[in-house]
Amino acid sequence: MSAPRRLLLVNGPNLNLLGTRQPEIYGTATLADVERIAGEAAAETDFEVRTIQSNHEGVLIDAIHAARADCAGIVINPGGLTHTSVALRDALTGVSLPFAEIHISDVNAREEFRRFSYLHDVAAVRVIGEGVEGYRSAVRQLSALIA
């Protein structure tokens, strides 16, 4: 059977606040804008996007597990869990779907603790510090890799 033309877009803790605070770091676009950008990029190659944002690690892990049934890949901004979560890494490697890790800000140019990512060696694509347009790039690169 051919792979489903669907990607799961995961946004982790606090990304629901996009566009409301810290514009100097994250810009002024909202989570709705991010989800629209990802959907537009996916449509270029006839993919659709399912979105989830949660502030709860277990909810994100459940969504990643569910993606195994009907998604071809995952685009994820894990928020602060990037730097802390073995469980999120295990979920992503456990479902064996290719995934793109995206960060809006340049995590390498901020506090030292943001430089390490538990996903850095298992992500198929990494996009860092390109603002919310980075989601477009992540979706395009992941779709190309799957197709």
- Which residues lie near ligand CA2 (CB under 6 A)? 14-15, 17-18, 21-22, 26, 77, 79-80, 82, 103-105, 107, 114
Q: Choosing from 65, 103, 118, 120, which is the catalytic residue?
A: 103
Least Å distance between CB 92 and ligand CA2? 15
* 53 vs 72 by CB, closer to ligand CA2: 53
* 65 vs 110 by CB, closer to ligand CA2: 110
118 is catalytic: no
135 is catalytic: no
Tokens 């860092």 map to which residue?
128
Q: What's the burial of 50, exposed, middle or buried (CB within 10 Å: 0-12/13-18/19+)?
A: middle
Q: Choosing from 26, 56, 83, 120, which is the catalytic residue?
A: 26
Dump the DSSP string for 49-81: EEEEE-S-HHHHHHHHHHHHHH-SEEEEE-GGG
Least Å distance between CB 106 and ligand CA2? 8
* 9 vs 72 by CB, closer to ligand CA2: 9
Of 55, 45, 70, 69, the closest CA to residue 10 belongs to 55
Of 124, 122, 129, the closest CA to residue 140 belongs to 124
Enumerate the active-site residues.
26, 103
